[in-house]
Amino acid sequence: MNRMLLLSAALCVSIGAGLVLAQNAPAQTPPAHSTHTQHDHGGSSQAATERPHPASQLGQQSPRVRETAPPLRVDLELTMRQPYVPSEKLSDDYRCFVLDPGLTEDRFFTGFEVKPGNPEVVHHVILNAVPPEAISQIRELDGQDGQDGWSCFGGTGLQAGPGGGIGGMGSPGGGLKLGSGAASFGALMKLQERGVNVNALIKALQEHRGNVPAALAAYQQAGGDLTALLSALQAEGLLGAGGLGDGAHAGSGDAMTVITSGLGDVFGVGSWVPGSVPTHFPEGTGRLLKKGTLLVMQVHYNTLAGREPDRTSVQLQLAPAGSQLQPLTGMSLVAPVEIPCPEGATGELCNRDALIRKNTAEDGPRAAMTPAALLALCQKKPEDYAKQNPKQVVSTCDMRVREDALAVGVNFHMHTLGTSGLLELNPGTNREQVLLEIPNWDFHWQGSYFYREPITLKKGDTVRITCTWDTTLNPEPRYIVWGEGTRDEMCLGGLTLMPAPRE
């Protein structure tokens, strides 16, 4: 019975914040890697006009998005502590820098603008909010090569710790957390009937108590089928309280939140590309920054125009202290990444199992768990992708909306093999609507978009994400799964939501 109680505890999933903001995290002294200036009032910002607004890349079916904005009131300006000189070895240099808002209390920001120090080389910027407990990781990464910041691609590279949600599916206390009472004797029997090796699972959980990803990796190493296990958990309602959900509300406990909170918030709390205008959130709403929160700014430098130093800054428009605003939330949308080698290509890494073993050895249990979890979530198998046209590998996944809401913004993310992206609401019904269409994807030209008019989402609606890749663009044939690296891929979309008006 003790074994069954342990499994019951291990299979209960509780989710912390879906974004990367700390919840009740203690304030710590952050590393001094930015300067910040408080502004009483005033200050304006002018949008860059050198290149077309990124809305120009959207397809004709996309809803109209805002391309202009009023001047920003600059209450807080955060600037890189030292100028950064892009790498001489890279034509595309992705660098993360720490900015400290110095918050001694929770504050909302209601608008922002990124001000590139050297617009000739700054290609895009993504802002991520991270909890103060990430400081120890930042100190390990920051300045290792003699310059401020660290090299990063696709995300910050930070893993979640206790109470965090930075991308920590592979870390104790991140994404997945242990609780109690989710499984019963009957549930164990049902898992066994679905082909789960319950004895091997219990043994793995005993050996890695408190670290679910490590236990799942051990289960796989013992011969267990990880994808089948996660599919069985979802089918029996053990992957979260709500089964297959939407991930729109942190702490909802559904399978989608489990996975997306573990994958992290690639889009962060703000972004910039050439042509972007100041961002103003809808009236009465804002992004909440908890006390002690740090901002990690990922800057993509394209050095074809030179390697002159850059010192980028971020301007924030803050709501008055104590303001009670509607916090904007995010609905994350993901689909599996399973891109086989083109037919006729050879090499050990064209074998999926060999590739997963290699990634796990290099990156830890998360490298095995994430692809399996995405397949289980979307009820897919690797075989579903095996016979596709290598120039048009397609992956889709449907998510349900759990509560009425208004979608006010949208974004999309793939890596360098992506060719097109699509988000749809209620596809195949008389309420079908395109939420975002990017017919010609360019990794180096991605931004966040805010709708001119909010789009109504109803509880029970379906949102579908579709990603298309061209594997022949890969200079080194290999099987490709979800990951942070330049040789990996992602299929990730996001909706910025505000509460639906009360009737």
- CA 376 – CA 31 distance, rounded (Å): 40
Q: What is the pLDDT of residues 257-299, one digit of tens each?
A: 445 444 444 557 888 877 778 889 988 999 999 999 999 999 9
CA angle, 322 then 452 then 67, to 5°: 95
Number of alpha carbons in the 13 Å side-chain half-sphere of residue 400: 12
The answer to whether the predicted template modeling score (pTM) of the entire model surpasses 0.75 is: no
- CA 22 – CA 39 distance, rounded (Å): 26
Q: What is the pLDDT of residues 39-61, one digit of tens each?
A: 543 333 333 345 577 788 899 99
CA nearest neighbour of 239 among 482, 396, 401, 14: 14
Structural domains of the chain, ranges and CATH numbers in brackets: 2-20+170-263 (no CATH), 34-160+285-325 (2.60.120), 330-499 (2.60.120.230)
Task: Give me the sign of the Cα torsion angle 78, 80, 83, 20.
Answer: negative
Lookup result for tokens 């679905």: 194
Counting every residue written for the chain, the total comes to: 503
Q: Are 170 and 159 in contact (CB under 8 A)?
A: yes
Q: What is the pLDDT of residues 61-100, one digit of tens each?
A: 999 998 888 889 999 999 999 999 998 888 788 899 999 9
Identify the pLDDT of residue 173: 29
Alpha carbon of 486 to those of 40, 354, 417: distances in Å?
A: 42, 19, 10
Q: In what order do the strands lie in the sheet with 433-438?
A: 393-400, 462-469, 418-425, 433-438
